[in-house]
Amino acid sequence: MEQIKILLNESDIPRQWYNLAADLPTPLLPPLGPDGKPVSPDMLAPVFPMNLIEQEVSQQRWIDIPEEILNILYRWRPAPLRRARYLEKYLDTPARIYYKDESTSPPGSHKPNTAVAQAWYNKQFGIKKLTTETGAGQWGSALAFACQIIGLECKVFMVRISFDQKPFRKMMMQTWGANCVASPSPETNAGRKILKDMPNTPGSLGIAISEAIEQAVTDPKGQTRYSLGSVLNHVLLHQTIIGLEAKKQLKMINEKPDIVIGCAGGGSNFAGLSFPFVADKINGDDIKIVPVEPTACPTMTRAPFVYDFGDTACTTPLLAMHSLGHSFVPPPIHAGGLRYHGMAPLVCQAIVEGLLEPRAYHQLKSYEAAITWARTEGFIPAPETSQAIAAVIDEAQKAKQERKEKVILFCYSGHGLMDLTGYDAYLSGKLTDYELPQEEMNKYLKELKNYPKAEARKTGKW
């Protein structure tokens, strides 16, 4: 049998992050303040430390990874690149399927790649405590781990439905010393208002973001900052270590991907794997790059490209992105990490350019793909990851129909061992599919009608 694991030595770990903002054919539209004018870096200072703000606005293609961060990443990086030989055999496909295994980190997902970096930069800036939100709990677990390793306090607002569905994630955060509360909570003005208006709400990432930001900016000592696990440029930057490693590993076996796939909620694991390959596509390579989302939260596939707030309480700058509206409360599907109303501006601009081909899947198809994966490859994937696996299976079956050898690469963004209640619901027939009705989407989008318009600028090359 051909090689199944492709491993790098520690000396081969990338020593720089890749910044797609330097190479996008059309630059990002700027974040805007409430007055409709571009936000200056100093206006973000109450929320983020200046060293991360500099990365957020950077147009530099390569940014050095500090040695201290690398020394922590060595605990699980470089991550394996594996070939899904058993799934290939089951599907009887001529496609060769490779996956970057990000489940090997201590919290079990790709999230620590940026959690460690953000915690380190905050500590360097003199910050004592970080607040954040989490959906499925993978990001909250990662930041709790990073803060414990680096020496910061950590407060996590976890979307209520996931707080109830995934109790073991909360326990992981507590084990690493973090304080995890269900959102909306009675601890913030934003949370109290939501609870008054919607006492039985399942919560949303937008609400949890509002609570985390409020607690950060109201610290009387000014020693608390907010940390975000996806969406923003500096977060996606830190994740590109995934794709940079994958490129080295594929080169070792003389392979180049025809198709690159990742699930996308806010965009971090998808961007981490795909952005180095987006750069290749910009430079002429023929690659299909596919971000995958749930039909219940169809941000990339159905939502308009608009200026919108990143949170429900409208405390963030207005971002140019595909959005379902900042008040959107998604249904309580089990892929909790894919329930965000917006999408990373860098991912959105790449979609506008035609560099990406987003698609959406129902959760029953995704769980079916997850079961197929578990019964062939053996690993139990996170519900979010199963969306990517569904797309992989479709592409592998298409290759079989076309009788074409194709190289498929995807991001195995995390394991599902903390998400077994979702598998129980699927296996017992309790899960149903949900496709967001257009009239429901229109209700949330109405509130954006008076916001500045986002012009979907593109070169038209792709």
Q: How far is 238 from 178, CA to CA, in rounded Å? A: 22
Q: How many domains does the chain have?
A: 1
Q: How far is 67 from 358, CA to CA, in rounded Å? A: 36
Tokens of 373: 């994966």
DSSP 102: G
pLDDT tops 60 at residue 1: no
Q: How far is 18 from 299, CA to CA, in rounded Å? A: 25
Q: Which residues contact 35 (CB under 8 A, 6 or more apart)?
A: none
Q: How far is 351 from 333, CA to CA, in rounded Å? A: 25
The model's confidence at residue 121, banded by pLDDT at 50, 70 and 90, is: very high
pLDDT given for residue 213 in this prediction: 93
pLDDT tops 90 at residue 68: yes
pLDDT, the chain, mean:
94
How many residues does the structure list for the chain? 462
The model's confidence at residue 315, banded by pLDDT at 50, 70 and 90, is: confident
Domain, as residue range, for 249: 5-12+64-108+234-448
CATH number of the domain residue 238 falls in: 3.40.50.1100
pLDDT given for residue 345 in this prediction: 97
Provide DSSP, 277-334. HHHHHHTT---EEEEEEETTS-HHHHS-EEEEESSTTS-SPEEEEE-S-TT------S
**Structural domain contains residue 39:** no
Cis peptide before 25, with omega less than 30 degrees from 0?
Answer: no
Do the strands 96-101 and 407-412 form a parallel or antiparallel pair, or are they unpaired? parallel
Q: How far is 228 from 151, CA to CA, in rounded Å? A: 18
For 154, the 3-state DSSP assignment is strand
The model's confidence at residue 334, banded by pLDDT at 50, 70 and 90, is: low
**Structural domain contains residue 176:** no
Q: How far is 324 from 336, CA to CA, in rounded Å? A: 16
The model's confidence at residue 456, banded by pLDDT at 50, 70 and 90, is: confident
pLDDT in tens, 161-205: 889 888 899 999 999 999 999 999 999 999 999 999 999 998 988
pLDDT given for residue 271 in this prediction: 98
pLDDT given for residue 335 in this prediction: 63
pLDDT tops 60 at residue 448: yes
Q: What is the rounded radius of gyration, in angstroms, for the C-alpha atoms of the chain?
A: 20
Spatial contact of 100 and 409, defined as CB atoms under 8 Å apart: yes
**Structural domain contains residue 253:** yes
Whole-angstrom CA distances from 450 to 78, 307, 368 are 47, 10, 42
**Structural domain contains residue 391:** yes
**Structural domain contains residue 150:** no
The model's confidence at residue 333, banded by pLDDT at 50, 70 and 90, is: low
For 180, the 3-state DSSP assignment is strand
- Paired strand residues for 38: 32
For 11, the 3-state DSSP assignment is helix
pLDDT given for residue 162 in this prediction: 85
Q: Which residues contact 64 (CB under 8 A, 6 or more apart)?
A: 15, 16
**Structural domain contains residue 19:** no
Provide DSSP, 352-411. HHT----EEE-HHHHHHHHHHHHHHT---B-HHHHHHHHHHHHHHHHHHHHT---EEEEE
pLDDT in tens, 215-273: 999 999 999 999 999 999 999 999 999 999 999 999 999 999 999 999 999 999 999 99
Q: Which of 159, 148, 247 is nearest to 203 (CA)?
A: 159
**Structural domain contains residue 199:** no
